[in-house]
Chain A
Amino acid sequence: MSLSKQQVQHIATLARLHLEEDQFDDVVAKLSSIVDFVDQLQQVPTDDVVPMAHPLNQAQRLRPDVVTEGNDRDAIQANAPVVSDGFYLVPKVIE
């Protein structure tokens, strides 16, 4: 296994993903096989190669900083699990 159970737990924490205990061995095995598979890239000589940031090598286009959307708060919040007075509610973060 190229990844340990501990490493996978760390990755899951970074990714904010809860994994059930009985899924763990399978996740470790499959993630390890993916990492082993992509490791073949390490053999490729790429010393003078410029990393590719965009398939057509275009720069990011900018737009004027002006308001283009109206106030659609109610329509947008219709999809939220819990809202109150236009606010999204989450568990208390400050004691």
Chain B
Amino acid sequence: MAGPAMHLLSLADLAKGLSSGDFSSHELVEHLLSRIDSDKSLNAFISVTADHALNVAAECDQARSKGNAGSLCGLPIVYKDIFCTKGVLTTCGSRILENFVSPYDATIVERLSDAGAVMLGKTNMDEFAMGSSNETSYFGPVRNPWDTERAPGGSSGGSAAAVAARLAPAATGTDTGGSIRQPAALTNTVGLKPTYGRVSRYGMIAFASSLDQAGVITRTAEDAAMLLAVMAGFDERDSTCLDHPVPDYVGGLDASLKGRKIGIVQQHFDEGLDGQCAARVKDALKALEQQGAQLIDVDLPNLDLSVPTYYVVAPAECSSNLSRFDGVRFGHRAKDPRDLFDLYCRSRGEGFGAEVKRRIMTGTYVLSAGYYDAYYLKAQKVRQLISQDFKNAFDKVDVIAGPTTPTPAFKLGDKTDDPITMYLNDIYTIGANLAGLPGISVPCGFVDDLPVGLQLVGPHFAEETILACAHQYQQLTDWHTRCPEAFQ
């Protein structure tokens, strides 16, 4: 075929290619599976579902020839291994679920499949989504396609690496404190975390239930809009999923930047931010301003408290959620237990990795008798203050723009000895989770050949606004079309 190779095309362009008959879904899937198979450097996948993918692709081609093509008919996607997929291994990056085959599909898997998306495989991730570098995975770290000595970020590191390396055009992810946006920023991809409750969490293995949200990693905001349009909306099976109308995300992308009020937070540019990253982000802001956006200073006075608040709330919820792993109903079970207590303790002790144990124990401590008020209740109050700061800012502006991460991708092993240094990597992303806000990271340039991300955060349910701003920015720039040399 003429034109660029299939793996370089965006989801939107692949959809055009399929509908005009330039290639079939079967050809496309075969091509991507062979790229996945020949890549030995990234460790981006835990499972590759090749047979399933080829069968579904053939069915999609047939449906299309009969005129029954859904909105994503024949388009390939990969799922973070936190999403339950019926009949397919679902490990959550953990030894404790090493052999778990889900008996049902997550709601988003069901919706994307119904629209015709073709699953190529399940991507590697930090164990139970607890990590910012993908190094806590039981299945080994994922490597960053831009420099394989470096981390791709986490916890959706496999999803980000797969999309950046053109092994898949799109991936799902989950974001509890930055786990979609941070790896997107470090791999030159687009990462969208929707409003809390916008997308169903049913069948998404729980980490911190008041913060977790499903989203996507793609190469363009347009592709993210296409997928969100299918994933978003009420689901009876998730009691925290909100019944709120789903707008036409793709149709809204053309909204101009003219008159858009963009909030700038001075604290984002304090000493914590790498100087060269700051320069790239400021260039991006200037570009938005030149298109008629208005840059307005806003204040988030409690920003510094977001990381400590998160590291009380998230571990507390994690200690409660992960109590279900008991070695009895599913998952790893220790050999020859002396009694029930020994069965629980050793199954969990052997099944969970060091970071997951740390978080369970932190959570157990802050919820335990005598400490609950001092830690958990206190953190929920500070969370209210942080949320109020955002509300005050959004009285003045439509979106808040700034850096996604303080530095470009760091080396594997660099931050594994000190949990606090690792935690501080999420300083700019965690606020949106605490306040339940939608956020997106968009490629905005490079520092020493490593990608930098621009983050846009909006008020509740303003996915349309942040997607439109991101899309307009991508019309002005071509950062997102840059592909790591080894994967062209």
Contact = CB atoms under 8 A, between A and B. Distances in A.
Given A34-B358, A55-B210, A91 B103 contact: no
19 contacts: A11-B368, A14-B364, A17-B352, A18-B345, A20-B349, A31-B361, A34-B311, A34-B358, A34-B420, A41-B309, A46-B381, A52-B381, A54-B210, A75-B103, A78-B103, A79-B101, A81-B333, A88-B328, A91-B339
- Per CB-CB distance, the 7 closest pairs between chain A and chain B, nearest first, are A55-B436, A18-B349, A51-B380, A81-B333, A79-B330, A18-B345, A46-B381
Nearest to A37: B420
B206 to A, nearest CB: 15
B420 A49 contact: no
Interface residues of B, number: 73
A65 to B, nearest CB: 14
A12 interface: yes
B407 interface: no
Interface residues of A, number: 51
Contacts, number: 168
Contact of B348 (A8, A16, A31, A35): A16
Contacts of B354: 23
A84 interface: no
A79 B382 contact: no
A6 interface: no
Interface in A1-49: 3, 8, 11-20, 23, 27, 30-31, 33-35, 37-38, 40-42, 44, 46, 49
B243 to A, nearest CB: 8
A45 B305 CA distance: 12
Interface in B312-333: 312, 319, 323, 326-333
A16 B345 contact: yes
Interface string B299-311: 0001001001101
Given A18-B349, A42-B378, A55-B210, A12 B242 contact: no
B341 A16 contact: yes
Contacts of A55: 196-197, 210-211, 387, 434-436
A66 B257 CA distance: 49
A47 to B, nearest CB: 9
A56 interface: yes
B209 to A, nearest CB: 10
Nearest to B87: A75
A42 B368 CA distance: 17
A41 B330 contact: no
A80 B330 contact: yes
Contact of B384 (A12, A18, A52): A52
Contacts of A92: 339
Interface in B239-265: 239-240, 242
Given A58-B242, A81-B333, A41 B420 contact: no
B349 A91 contact: no
Residue among A37, A41, A80 with most chain B CB within 10 A = A41
Most buried by B among A27, A34, A54, A82: A34
Given A46-B385, A51-B381, A55-B435, A91 B362 contact: no
Interface string B408-432: 0000000000111001000000000
Contacts of A20: 349
Query: Which of A88, A91, A92 is packed against the most chain B CB atoms within 10 Å?
Result: A91
Contacts of A13: 345
A16 to B, nearest CB: 4
Which of A76, A81, A93 is most buried by chain B, counting CB atoms within 10 A of its CB?
A: A81
Given A35-B362, A42-B378, A49-B384, A19 B357 contact: yes
Contacts of B338: 91
Interface string A47-88: 001111111101011010000000010011011111000001
Contacts of A35: 362, 365
B61 to A, nearest CB: 30
B383 A52 contact: yes
Contact of A8 (B195, B361, B380): B361
A55 B103 CA distance: 31
B344 interface: yes
Given A14-B368, A54-B436, 6 more contacts: A15-B364, A34-B420, A38-B366, A55-B434, A79-B331, A81-B332
Contact of B343 (A34, A40, A90): A90
Contacts of A88: 328-329
B421 to A, nearest CB: 10
A19 B352 CA distance: 11
B308 A41 contact: yes
B377 interface: yes
Nearest to B330: A79
A23 B302 CA distance: 36
B100 interface: yes
B394 interface: no
Contacts of A18: 342, 345-346, 348-350
